[in-house]
Amino acid sequence: MPALQPRPKWRILIRAMARVLKGTRMGNCIGCGLCELLASRIAGGRLSYSDGFLQIRKVASGEPRFKAVIDYGQKTGYKEVCEICPGNCFDLVEE
């Protein structure tokens, strides 16, 4: 009968890195709203500018720049959003 091996007193915790959508190049954003429409279609199954996990807002009134407001309470690691953006504004970043 083989001898029992003692269990190690430490455990290796393996934590998978989550891939999260980030607006890394928002200076390229033209404000077309394609990412907003796709995010609402993914999240709720319908097209809407306000029901998705991603919304595009102006940085300040009168300025041509935009910012992404992302609801991280929902799953946001969708590669489709990165691919549909004509300005290539988004990346999936590991956190």
Tell me the CA distances in angstroms from 2 to 5, 8, 28, 56, one per residue in order: 9, 18, 65, 64
Residues in a beta bridge with 66: 58
Which one is predicted more confidently, 17 or 88? 88
* 29-67 pLDDT per residue, tens: 999 999 999 999 988 888 988 888 999 999 888 777 999
Asked whether residue 23 carries a pLDDT value surpassing 70, the answer given is yes
Q: Read off the pLDDT band of 6 (50, 70, 90).
A: low
Banded model confidence at residue 8, pLDDT cuts 50, 70, 90? low
User: Percentage of the chain surpassing pLDDT 90?
Assistant: 47
pLDDT averaged over every residue in the chain: 84
- Report the C-alpha dihedral over residues 58, 20, 80, 45, rounded to 10 degrees: -80
The two counts, helices (H) then strands (E), for the chain are: 2, 4
Q: Give residue 16's pLDDT.
A: 63
User: For position 11, what pLDDT does the model report?
Assistant: 61
